[in-house]
Amino acid sequence: MDQQEAVNTLTDVMTKFTGYIGKRLPTDVQKKLAELREKETTPLAKVVYDSMATNQEAADKLDRPCCQDTGAIQYFITCGAKFPYIGELEGILRNAVLEATKKAPLRHNAVETFIEKNTGTNTGYRIPWMDWDIVPDSDTCEIEVYMAGGGCSLPGAAKVLMPGQGYEGVNQFVFDVITSYGVNACPPLLVGVGVSTSVETAARLSKKALFREVGSRNANENAAKMEQLLEEGLNEVGIGPQGLGGASSVMGVNIEQSARHPSTIGVAVSTGCWAHRRGTIRFNPDLSYEIISHKGAVL
Ligand code: SF4
């Protein structure tokens, strides 16, 4: 395959995958929503979960996005330094968004800041947003596609705590954010928490936490315990599906952390809504690929 052919192939796959993410939820999210529905005892909560399931079936059958807000597109790229198309990827992903916007279709969600004009293409200055991790000795490339909707992005918050506030401070921050603003994000929520030195490192980690599988646990025992306690505590609040009350508030709490400066505790929260549109695809150097997030997906 020559270079141009390869670029065309990658653009085509990423166009289809980006559109696909807007229509079908990842396997873990679908499973969790079904599980939470089973725990509900009130008719209203059950009806809301049923309507989510019906919505999913309709999106699949009609080949349409499962929520009207298909978000601002964000790509989180973990790319091997030896992946042969690393230099072309930025252009490829930009073109994939342009194409997916027309073909999927995706709602126009890119407004140029300070100009206040919708570009009508879902592309613009620094959008689609691209976040890079380069892996030195690898020749594969893993791409997370995320549709950052308005509602699910609204509760996002970050703060640097005084060191004496400790993990209790982290806990309080997460509770304050979710109980004040969580309802804007169409619960049940996936709550991503980042703990690090400063606001930007904590914020990036909180978004990355949203890409970890629902139901998975942090490898650090204490962090895993905190995930569990936060999840149980937030569920006791009983926000329920779409904030209408019910047995649960969240699909889960995922924490990602880094070592940090001893004098600070940077903490951030990002939220994913019930329609948590994210997808993971991994390319090999010959451009064969595997879709990791959606079992049995065919593009
Ligand atoms: S929060 Fe999620 S489900 Fe609700 S409108 Fe926004 S994108 Fe759609």
> Percentage of the chain with pLDDT > 90?
100
Does residue 201 surpass a pLDDT of 90?
yes
Q: Which domains does the chain have, with CATH numbers?
A: 3-24+66-149+277-291 (3.30.1330), 154-272 (3.30.1330)
- Region 173-186 average pLDDT: 96
Average pLDDT over every residue of 191-212? 98
Ligand 1 mutation pick, 152, 154, 184, 278, max ligand atoms within 8 A of CB: 152
Average pLDDT value over all residues in the chain = 97
Residues in contact with ligand 1 (CB, 6 Å cut-off) = 67, 69, 149-152, 185-186, 273-275
Q: What is the pLDDT of residue 74?
A: 98
8 A C-beta contact, residue 99 and residue 11: yes
Q: Could you give the dihedral angle defined by the CA atoms of residues 278, 105, 155 and 116, in that order, rounded to the nearest 10 degrees? A: 140
Residue nearest (by alpha carbon) to ligand 1 atom 8 = 67
pLDDT score, position 1: 82
Alpha helix (H) ranges present in 157-242?
Answer: 166-181, 199-209, 221-237
Q: Which two tokens stand for residue 230?
A: 């936060």
In single-letter form, the type of residue at position 4 comes to Q
What average pLDDT does range 41-55 have in this prediction? 97
pLDDT at 240: 97
Question: 3 pLDDT band (50/70/90 cuts)?
Answer: very high
Compute the average pLDDT of residues 241-246. 97
Burial of 296 (0-12, 13-18, 19+ CB in 10 A): exposed
Report how far ligand 1's centroid is from the alpha carbon of 271 (Å). Answer: 11
Atom of ligand 1 nearest to the CA of 274: 3
**Distance between Cα 86 and ligand 1 center (Å):** 32
Asked whether the predicted pLDDT for residue 86 surpasses 90, the reply is yes
Q: Is residue 5 scored above 90 in pLDDT?
A: yes
Q: What gap in Å lies between CA 17 and CA 9, rounded to an integer?
A: 12
Q: How far apart are CA 92 and CA 142, in angstroms?
A: 14
Q: With a cut of 90, say whether residue 83 has pLDDT above it.
A: yes
Q: What is the pLDDT of residue 16?
A: 98
